[in-house]
Every structure is written in C-alpha cells, then in structure tokens.
Structure 1
C-alpha cells in the first residue's frame, strides 16, 4: 500500500538492504568513492579499482539492516572527515534537549551538507537520536544521491516546482509530514531557516517556512501548532567557510550583472568543497525550545532571528573583517579583536584571513569581507537592542 508520504519520506529499516545493493551496483556512486579513496590512481585504474571497492563495501555493509545500524557504521567516517577538516567542534545548549522528546531544529544555513551533518554529529554524540533532514530536490539530480540522502534520514523538499497549485500541494504535504514526524513518529526534524545558503553571511528566517509548519493544521491557531512542535533555534558558526571564495564570486557577478547562472555540476563542487575544505573551529548553539506566545509567522521570525544571531559564535576573523568593512555601522560599539582574543590566537587568524583576501580577486574582496563582517553587525545590533 502506498503511504501518504512515500514520495518524500526517508527510507524505512526494511528498505535498507535493497537500497544498499542498488547503491553498490551504481557506477556513478562507485566512481565517486573510488576517486575519494584513491584520487591519483582512480584517473587511470578506476576500471580495476571499482569492482574491488564494490566487493569490499558489500562485505562491510552485508549485515546492515536498519538505518540506526547504518548510521553507527558511517559515524566513524563522518568523525574522521570532521576531524580532518576542522580544528574541533564545540557545542552549547545541548543540555536543553531531553531524551524521548522530538524537536524541530531550525538552523541558519551556510553549507549544503555540513550544516545538518554537524547537528547530527552533536546530537549523536550527546546520545540522542539524529533528526530527519530536509533536503531540496534541486540537489538530488543523480539517483544515487537521492538514495544516499534518504538512507541517512533525509526527506525531500520539492523546490523545483513552478506551478502555484503544485507548490501549494507540496508545501501542504511537507507541513503534514513534519507534524506527523514530530507528533506521531516521535522523530526530530532539521530544516534550514530559509531556502538556499546565506551567501552574504546575513542569516535571516523566512517567515514562509514558519507559516508552512501551520498549513496542515489550519483548524488550530498558529500559536498552538508552534507550541507543540518544540521549535529549537540552532546557530552554526564556522570560523572559515571553505566556499567563501565561490560565494564572493557569485555575489560580485550578481551585483554587477543583476543575475547569476549556476554552471553544470556547481552544486556538486560546493558539496565536495564544503565537506573536505578547511573550516577552522566550528561551534553549534542550541537555544531552549521556543514554545509560546507567537501569534503569527512574522512575529516568530523576529524571535528566531534574535535567537539564532545571538547564539552565533564570533571568531577572530569575523572581527578582522568587520574592522575592514566599508559598510560597518559607526553607531555600534564593536570592540577591536585585540581586546577580545589572546595575541597568539589573533596572529594565527590574521595570517589565515590575509591568505583568503590574497586569494580573492580585488574586485570580489568586498564580497568576501561582507560574509564574515555581517554576523558581527547582526549580533551587536541585538546586544544594543536595535532592530535588525
């Protein structure tokens, strides 16, 4: 029997073995794994390496017959790639989360794959079940990517629909699924605060997403629905963004030509760079659940912004960028980096920041600066009680 959510939901335990078999027979998937494991050899010997890797993976994953078992198996690799690409991950506020309770995590969005991966990492290491992850269908161009994501508790958000009626139906289904997951299945959800990454560093909550949570329960008030979803604002802060140069280039092209056309394979490139690129330190802050007193989505969006932006951890590079920013706010009392950080830490940051500026074409540099400077302005505006 077809379930109501079959078109978008993650795979269930019973489906895991068949999907794994399908993945391990997919040449495109095996090519990527081969290239990842043996970057040099794969160029000339992928015909030889692919069957060997498929055989090895088959034996490694032969006994896997549930999503939890798969996550346990994969966690070792996730931890390893996190340790390679960061100078450590810290979190605050995780004590607000209680075992046996499902949450709706609403997070700022900087990196396609790593934002939810870091939330998973934090929650998993706190001994809590990982959330189901919202992912746009624009990122699922290849069948194996869709299989991989749905194996890892991802559900699909249909973004590429153009008709108004289809869009509305997709939002309705998404709303019903999120509510069903939290209230009936007792499974947490991760979703970004807005569609697409905040490429200029200005993290803002799209009230349409908050409105969507209410869509499937119109007979109840907005406040009642939100009150029952355990909505947790999550701030994800990267000391350095591996995709910052690409974002600066896109912002520059948009500003000078009025639009930007993505090249074929650009998302795949961003995903790869986001996973493997150097991030410095990473910090996640989980605010206490926002449960009451919000009558509409606009009002709630303001509170979400307040929580997410004030929970953001500012690193030395953010202050260095702010000091160079042509559009900084003279009315804001922002301390100098030298007042906040030890000399050694600051010297290392100055070196890394300069390296990034040097690698960026001069005309694109202001768009690199804005990515790091904006979170400083936003946080100090909140501290001063000013509107954002």
Structure 2
C-alpha cells in the first residue's frame, strides 16, 4: 500500500489449452489481426494457442487466495529498502505500512524490484504505451479478434508506432497507442495520439473511458544476470524475463518461477534460469539494432512475417519455443541483407549506458 504501489495493469501471453491462471483471465482470442499502414488486414487463426489477457488485480486476488490456504506461506507487505548479503545470509531491510522498520534474514531472496538504471547495452529501445478501457455508444468491435498491431498510426521519425485493440465485447475494449522509440511522450502527447487512433483511424464514435493504463518496457540487449549474490537472485523483468524483441514478460517470468520451485523441492540452489535462450537473445539483439538504426522498416517487417509465416508458428517463435530449423524458416522471410549486415556489425559495437 502507498505511493510505490503500481496501478492495475494488463498482462497478455499465449498458451494452448487450459492454463494455471485461467481463473484470472478476463478474455482470450484465437484470431489475431495485423494491419499494414495501407492495404488489406492480415488475419490469422492461432489454434491451438489462445491469446490471453489477465488484469493484475485479478491475478493478485487469485494468488492471494491460493497463498491464504497454504500452511507453508507467510505473507508480509512492506516497502523493501535494502537487500544485503551478511555472513549469516541475506538481510532484507523494510518499512511496514505503519512506518515501523523491520529486518528479515532469509536463506534465499528473490528480488523483482525495477532496476534503478539499465546496464550498458549496444541497443536499448523503449516500448511505451497509453491505453483506454472504453465503452462505445454502438457495437463496433469484433469480439473474436484481437488487433495485435495496427500500423495505420502516424509513424515517429525514429522507431515505430502501432495501435493495439483487445475487445472484450461488441462495445467494450482496451484500446492502446504504443511506440518503440528512444524517448517517452508527454501526457498530452499520449492523449492526442490515442484520440487520433480512436476517432480517426478506428472511427469508434461516441465513447466512455472507463479506466486508463500507461506502461514503459525497456527492450534491451544488455545482459541482466539472475544471480547477484551468494543467495540473492533477480527475477522477472529485473532478471531478464522480458523478451527483448517484443516486451512480453509474463510467460518468461512463469518459466523462471516454475524452475525455482522445482529446484527448491529438489534441494538444489534455486537460481532462476535465463527466460530466453542464447539463440533467441542473439536474434533479438540483431533485430533491435536493425530497427534502431533504421536499416529495417519495422511495420513492413512485422507485416511481412505475419503474412508469410503461420500465426501459431510465429507466436511460438516469438516465445522462443521453436527449434533451429523453424527459426531459420522464419528468418528467411526477414530482409536478409540488412539483417546480415547488422549481425556482422553487432560484435564490434561498444556497450553504452542508456541515457
């Protein structure tokens, strides 16, 4: 509780069949749509996958219910001030909601707090977005299809932008404006971009804004180590769970936590694994550099991939669930020349701190 508590937010991911957190899923879709800046939309059926949306408050309620019925869990709410290694083990200093201080000594500490600054990287791009949960005066949304990337938005001078629409009913949806670029917008800038997308591109007409959400996700090829002490580990976005090329984090974090739980049960050191393979991170580093340098046109690249690669396979590729042969099959649909030049250049580039 207090000013450091983040506002409710939306997490999306894809999986097949029933999932561990289905009780917290608000909506799910098996059809995705990508729209180029001009021309016909690209639609794909992602069966057997489903694109699922979870709200953070629903997720918290589900997990809190499970923990409350576990005799092995004690939950404390406080602001973590410091995490230190001591001869007896990690010490977590914290401030409780009533202002009192406390210290916990632990065997293992998993620290998911956002990093104060990003490590040095060859490329860092910010994914930043602002969204409205809307209710329209008339039915305008296709309930069965999620609009994953709509490139009919004005493109920034450096980077790319797109609209994102997750319909939860014929008159209700989450409508977002997203940019991949070096700098965030002002509040006025986001509002103007979103108003333009809702009114001029989607032609939603009269609508009511029920809630808003804003987010910022660093997409970086910086190394993010999972182990930062003898018994202290970073986990989640701070521990590299975010996929650098997409910004999706939820699925990577679940892979880390499952591996940690398994290690604890087996009595092994519970080091969170890298959420994404070396091959995936290498491909992401090439893509980020190609986009950031302007060598590759982002909207054209994503539209080309969704046109030429079956949607379910492309999503598995974006989640790092494909093998080398499948990766090569997807990669041949990217602009080979610019990507190869970028791959050759990458090892020679210095890593610099992000401004």
Higher helix share: 1
- Quick check: which one's strand share is greater? 2
Determine which structure has greater relative contact order: mean sequence separation of CA pairs < 8 Å that are 6+ residues apart, divided by chain length.
1
With structure 2 as the length reference, what TM-score do the two structures score? 0.28
